[in-house]
Structure 1
């Protein structure tokens, strides 16, 4: 008699055939989903890559231009009016000036020359006697900085006819004579050689482009420089909107040209009319995806064939299945308990196999944390959950070295690209067949935001929005140490509202608070971004001015005093309230160990202003020990 375990009815055969067909369809669906997900991941990666590269290049160029401007500012402080106005100063002075220009040029690797331009737009001196530098700065830009005393610097495009190596950027800084009249320009040029070093080695693919444009769509630098490089036309409207301020930050544009799609990032270099553009083509960033898709299709076809074979062998192994049914039931129960335990744990868990780091499992907590379906994670690698891939690779390397990774605060990103903070723990599970990395993640974004808010409250005055006294003292001592180390000038201002008690008594404390906020806004508008401004308490403010000698600080204080005097506060009932200020100034001395000494001298000068009519500026170094000004 035939064993019932070896006999299959027609109904059982039909069921198994249907199961095999559904399994094949499921494989096709998973393969399609994998191809689509990998395509979207490649597109997203290229978008993020162009945005990041544009931000990095903008930061490097902005830093180079600021460094150049600081050197030109320092150079301007060392010149006299004749140095800029005349070309022939005598052999001795010409050599001294040539040496000074060469020394400053050596401080800025990105510049290829430094020159002095007189008020008639004629070049009087330059560090290097290179050819083609007579038209270093455009006449329109020259007139702009000449006619506007508030235009301290200007950036323009450098174009020298018939010399591609001399195209670049010009940084020009205003030089004022002792009577505050226009005395000429101190100019530095950054040519193609610098941009070749910065941009020429960046790989954006065979069809990619990196461009540096001015506000008139003039090309300052273009890479790559291959003869067969793809021609790319930037969006003039986007460049114009970035320059007029209607758009800010990094602007990502997707466009379709011929048979390819381009991802292009536009970013304005802060404080300049220049726009950095990074563009990549789908011919490049999808090349790997196309190759991978072919392998996926081949692999999927092989898996489908294997699935059919497995169905056949499953049909043939029915007898064994019946014998193993009880064991399978127990195994399923055990697996269900294990999954229930993982799914209900309050920690997001991610499992990734080594050495390719493909994610093999995420629990529902992790899927919710990264804002994606659990199935979507199976097409990703573990390092894609990190904002910076190198952070993950560094943790894995430490794990392989036997170090413990427990509750490390790390920047992660959700499936949409939104960054967040997580506390990450890593461990490695080894079996005879494979190794798996287990990630445990807890979202600590709210805690980090609270820490940031506490830090802000600890350093900021709540009424004025300026730094408080504690933060000012700490930061000012660091700046003072830097100035003494490099023998740089530094000045300190102390500002006090005149008759502040009378304002409170007459109009109320709310108007007094408005006066403090108004003074804060005026100080922010008059002082530079590099100046350290704080409210010390009550109506008393302090400002530390790096790279500023006493005479220049006096001019700044006078502008500040006049701005305060001209300001008007409107009360709730429509009354106009005006107030003045008294200001004390002091300069850094060689024997000043801490900022307290400068505060004491500035306070003395402040009270001198208070007791001699108010609404004035006094310099501590010009007041003797008896409280009289020195002639």
Structure 2
């Protein structure tokens, strides 16, 4: 039951005022609690959408970097061979390179007049491509250091795509042509599909000029739509100058109410002329569906409480000439009010000026494992550890002595060593309408432990590759840089392996992406079982993996790499995939030694060795000198 204090009879107006204050406090507490929960729901969804958009952006940044390196490599090859090089030879190189890069459809070398000199597609050699937009853009604004990103266009295969282009420079730096790659939309679609976690969610990639390139789930009628409209989420994102933003409202493309996270992809190292923007969004109705249900239930409960309370008081005053009936009506009202509070799924309580509990609803009594009679007169020292009780005492002092309304986290250690986190809201209870003296405290507490644990889980997921469970590229680089610093400080040996699955594109093309994913997961399992706990293993993109080996010289690294190669070569995936399937890997290795390079430089050296392994027949281990 609610607490009762012996007092002289109140006037009719005072009783209505007291009831109004009580309902106002209860309504205010419920309203504040609902608003906090709605804000948390929105913030939780914002953080999740931003995290998914970042996953896509990181994947795209890696893939764009790989494509840029490929274009630069072709340009460097042309420069080394000189004008006398035969186009047939370079066309063969382009074919080999496109086969090794599953995200590239077409590679072209075009001279200053617009004529195609070489391509991985023989039918394009000799074609006049001078009218193409990606050629005209570079010719009008030539810059050898710029990676040009063309506007999306519809290919002859009726898919939307775009070109990545680097300028070819003449002897005096003048425009001498271009080397360009047409990107396969599947290049990005795998990353888009991987982050969809709700039926109402969709994500997209938009060109920096506003043209929509790709969506997941697929929505082809939207492809090519200009998003750069005044007031659109895309325009507001670009105008903000921020890399990441979250907007809520009506989307321009689909005209429905959504929450959308946007992330600009424009790595400084690539010097892109146009950015790409990633978006991930969900319908607002779906995001707040559970909250609306809870708000309606609590609103109806408050309405019932208010109606019962007001009707009870009215009946009490109407029948006050009969004192026994008046007392009975008051007790019934109090019991109903207490019963209603017992149904609210949160902890509600009252304390007097001595910080002793005088009332608690049923969830609070169950939490403390006491009866109503046992609760009265107890303070926080009985129910909480000393540190938590002291914290609660300080909060109560601010409410009782200064009349503050407080809202903050309280952490309570449990007997089993675990921790529970509560969101505590407290407000003073005054003895009169003029608020001249505080009688006690009314508090409401919500257990937010699971919410905090969910936030920690999301942070942990951000460091893992979604498919293999290994460290993603960002986490691998962070741990690797630390290990590199330790190796230099204590003059320890350190080696690095770069691993690439041979003919992985053929596996995907022949057996499908699901089998390709099984191959990646199988290799991840082999890597985990083949290396020490101190070794750092990561998937750095596509079918490429890296392993950092502390206190390991190049000879030891060679032995480890060869054992790994043989283990993979002997792996049979027939049972897992239902198809006769084996696969092999190529490995590039490098030792830190006295090299003054960072982890990125060490990866580049290992990549050179990996390239040598690929060029000399695959399924082998090569080492960087």
TM-score with structure 1 setting the length: 0.46
TM-score with structure 2 setting the length: 0.47
